[in-house]
Amino acid sequence: MLCGKIAAGKSTLAAELARAPKTVLVSEDAWLAALYADEMTTGADYLRCATRLRSAMSPHVMALLQTGISVVLDFPANTVESRVWMRDLITRSGTDHRMHVFDRPDSVCLDRLRQRNASGTHPFTVSELQFQRFSAYYQPPGPDEGFHLLRHGADDA
């Protein structure tokens, strides 16, 4: 699982982790782009589509975990609500977990976002205003949430 602001490096690490044997990557961005790209023009649209996707993916992710496959869940664990969904998957599947938390300054994320937008390699182009709006909802995980956290700071950029 991955937690961090837009362009903090979550998907880059996810792709790296997914190279391990018996590991599969499940990417929210890839699925949202394939299923709902034309429907997502606002933050509310994203929330509606992301909620539908989580609901559809839950049984699939659980099945993978229960067969012993490691799942790199490249969905942003950026709010308490999103982490409740992830915690449910962990609890119901009876598997271990790690949550990678990216503590990168906005300036680093914005630089990376500009590069990503310019490259055209990401399924979504995000404006700086959208970055600010989504960042306003960012809530890093607290110790009371019970996740095994691995932190990535500005020095890891």
Q: Which domains does the chain have, with CATH numbers?
A: 2-156 (3.40.50.300)
pLDDT band at 153 (very low <50, low <70, confident <90, very high): confident
Nearest to 8 by CA among 108, 135, 126: 108
How far apart are the two ends of the chain, measured CA to CA in Å? 18
Strand partners, 153: 103
Asked if the model's pLDDT at residue 157 lies above 60, the reply is no
Query: How deeply is 103 buried, as exposed, middle or buried, from its count of CB atoms within 10 A (0-12, 13-18, 19+)?
Result: middle
pLDDT, residue 123, reads 87
pLDDT, tens digit, 9 for 90 and up, residues 38-82? 999 888 999 999 999 999 999 999 999 999 999 999 999 999 999
pTM > 0.85: yes
